[in-house]
Amino acid sequence: MRLHNNAANDSAEYAIVVRSDYKGRGLGWQLMQMMIAYGRKRGLRSIEGKVLHENKAMLDMCRQFGFEIAIDPKNASICDVRLAL
Ligand SMILES: CC(C)(COP(=O)(O)OP(=O)(O)OC[C@H]1O[C@@H](n2cnc3c(N)ncnc32)[C@H](O)[C@@H]1OP(=O)(O)O)[C@@H](O)C(=O)NCCC(=O)NCCS
């Protein structure tokens, strides 16, 4: 899991990867929860990410955590996801 803050320190871009043989056990979900809690604690206003359109697992999780999801205007195969904290 990575959360990389921007220069203004009010938003951060995230990335989460779970090892293939550990997928589907709830780890991705827990990492998302930890990341959101950490972002709130750090006083971030939002968490953002870029997710491949075909990445149903991550997009479903984003929906469940209340992220806004939009197609990247520059690349239709990518979704811009954003959670206001
Ligand atoms: C996307 C990724 C991080 C998901 O991680 P994971 O550990 O396999 O996912 P989980 O097991 O936590 O969640 C899978 C499912 O359980 C659900 N779930 C897990 N824990 C839950 C809980 N406590 N409460 C409710 N739902 C839960 C999730 O919503 C999801 O539902 P579904 O697949 O049945 O629709 C993982 O597939 C991955 O590493 N992919 C490659 C890297 C990548 O694409 N990263 C995203 C770009 S940042």
27 lines ligand 1 (CB under 6 A): yes
Q: What is the DSSP string of the chain?
A: -EEEE-TTSSEEEEE----GGGTTSSHHHHHHHHHHHHHHHTT-SEEEEEEETT-HHHHHHHHHTT-EEEEETTEEEEEEEEEE-
Quick one: which atom of ligand 1 is closest to the CA of 30?
A: 12
Ligand 1 centroid–CA 57 distance in Å is: 6
Cα–Cα distance for residue pair 69/43, rounded to 1 Å: 22
72 lines ligand 1 (CB under 6 A): no
pLDDT digits (tens, 9 = 90+) for 43-85: 999 999 999 999 999 999 999 999 999 999 999 999 999 999 9
Domain of 59: which CATH number? 3.40.630.30
pLDDT tier at 37, thresholds 50, 70, 90: very high
Residue 72, domain extent:
2-84
What per-residue confidence (pLDDT) applies to 72? 94
Chain centroid to CA 28 = 10
Partners of residue 48 on adjacent β-strands: 13, 82
Does the pTM surpass 0.75? The reply is yes
The total of structural domains in the chain comes to 1
